[in-house]
Chains A and B, each alone.
Chain A
Amino acid sequence: MQQAVIRMKHERTSIGARGALALALALAIGPAIANDRTGGKLLLTAGVSQIEGAAGGGLTPWAVIGGYGTEGQFGGNVFHTRVATDDYRLGVTGLAVGISDRVELSYARQRFDTRDVGAALGLGRGFKLEQDVYGAKVRLAGDAVLDQDTWLPQIALGVQHKRHRQGDIVRAVGARSANGTDVYLSATKLFLDPGLLVNGTLRHTRANQVGILGFGGDRRGSASVEFEGSVALLLHRTLAVGAEYRTKPNNLGIAREDDWWDLFVAWAPTRNVSVTLAYADIGNVVIRDDQRGWYLSVQFGF
Chain B
Amino acid sequence: MRSIMLVLRLLALSIGLASMPAADAAERPPMDPAPAHPELRPVLDAFGGVPGLEALMDDFMAGLLADPRTRPFFENAEQDRVKRQLVEQFCVILGGDCVYSGRDMREAHAGHVITAAHFNALVEVLQVSMNRRGIPFRAQNRLLAKLAPMHRDVVNEPPRR
Which residues from chain A sit less than 8 Å from chain B, CB to CB? Answer: 36, 39-43, 70-73, 101, 140-143, 145-150, 152, 155, 157, 185, 187, 191-193, 195, 202, 225, 227, 234-237
Once A40-B116, A146-B151, A195-B141 are accepted as A-B contacts, the answer to whether A141 and B7 lie under 8 Å apart by CB is no
> Which one of B74-82, B86-94, B121-129 is at the interface?
B121-129
Could you tell me if A142 and B116 are in contact, using CB atoms closer than 8 angstroms? Answer: no
B17: Cβ under 8 A from any A Cβ: yes
Smallest Cβ distance from B151 to chain A, in angstroms?
A: 5
Decide: B116 and A148 in contact? CB cutoff 8 A.
no
Shortest Cβ distance from residue B110 to the other chain A in the assembled complex, whole angstroms: 18
Q: Which of A39, A143, A195 contacts B117 (CB 8 A)?
A: A39
A193 and B138 CA atoms in complex are apart in Å by 7
- B interface secondary structure, majority: helix
- A202–B123 alpha-carbon span in the complex (Å): 32
B11 at the interface (CB under 8 A from A): yes
By the criterion CB–CB under 8 Å, are A193 and B142 in contact? yes
Q: Which residues of chain B are within 8 angstroms of A42 by Cβ–Cβ distance?
A: 120, 123-124
B4-A225 in contact (CB<8A): yes
Provide the residues of chain B in CB contact with A145, threshold 8 Å.
148
CB <8 Å contact, A70 and B149: no
Cα distance, A237 to B157, chains bound together (Å): 27
Given A36-B69, A155-B17, decide whether A193 and B145 contact each other with a Cβ distance below 8 A: yes
Task: From known contacts A40-B116, A40-B117, A152-B17, infer whether A202 and B6 are also in contact, taking CB-CB under 8 Å.
Answer: yes
Known: A140-B18, A192-B141, A237-B127. A70 touches B3 (CB 8 A): no
Does A225 lie within 8 Å of B7, measured CB to CB?
yes
Give CA–CA (A6, B71) in the complex, Å: 51
Contact assessment for A146 and B149 in the assembled complex, using a CB-CB cutoff below 8 Å: yes
A237 neighbours in B (Cβ, 8 Å): 127, 131, 137
Cβ-neighbour of B116 out of A101, A185, A193, A236 (below 8 A): A101
By DSSP majority rule, is chain A's interface helix, strand, loop, or mixed?
A: loop
**What 12 new A-B contacts, CB under 8 Å, besides A39-B117, A70-B116, A73-B117?**
A40-B116, A42-B123, A42-B124, A71-B115, A71-B158, A146-B149, A155-B13, A155-B17, A187-B14, A192-B142, A192-B148, A193-B145
Q: Is the CB of B10 within 8 A of A185?
A: yes
Output the least CB separation between A247 and chain B (Å).
9
User: B137 contacts which chain A residues (CB < 8 A)?
Assistant: 195, 234-237
A149 touches B149 (CB 8 A): yes
18 contacts between A and B (CB under 8 A): A36-B69, A40-B115, A40-B121, A42-B120, A71-B158, A73-B117, A141-B14, A145-B148, A146-B148, A149-B149, A155-B14, A155-B18, A187-B14, A191-B145, A192-B142, A192-B145, A195-B137, A237-B131
Contact B116 A202 (CB under 8 A): no
Q: Within the complex, what minimum Cβ distance (angstroms) separates A226 from chain B?
A: 8
Q: Contact: B3 with A225, CB < 8 Å? A: yes
B131: shortest Cβ distance to chain A, in Å? 7
> Would A140 and B17 count as touching, CB distance under 8 A?
yes
Complex formed: what's the CA distance from A36 to B20 in Å? 31
A225 to B151, CA, bound (A): 36
> Are B149 and A147 in touch, CB under 8 angstroms?
yes
Interface residues of B in 10-34 (CB under 8 A from A): 10-11, 13-14, 17-18, 20
Residues of B within 8 A of A202 (CB): 3, 6-7, 10
Closest to A156 in B: B14
Closest 10 CB pairs of A and B: A40-B117, A141-B17, A70-B116, A192-B145, A149-B149, A148-B145, A148-B148, A140-B18, A70-B117, A193-B145
Task: Out of B121, B127, B146, name the residue touching A148 (CB < 8 Å).
Answer: B146
| Assembly CA distance A101 to B155 (angstroms) | 15
- Is B99 among interface residues, defined by CB-CB distance under 8 A? no
Q: A147-B148, A155-B14, A185-B11 are in contact. Are A70 and B138 (CB under 8 A)?
A: no
Residue numbers in A under 8 Å from B10 (CB-CB): 185, 187, 202
B144 contacts partner chain A, Cβ-Cβ < 8 Å: yes
**Do A41 and B11 touch across chains, with their CB atoms under 8 A apart?**
no
Say how far A164's CB is from chain B's closest CB, in angstroms: 26
Contacts of B145 in A (CB 8 A): 148, 191-193
Nearest Cβ on chain A to B41's Cβ, whole angstroms: 15
A143→B124 CA distance, assembly (Å): 17
Q: Which residues of B contact A225 (CB under 8 A)?
A: 3-4, 7
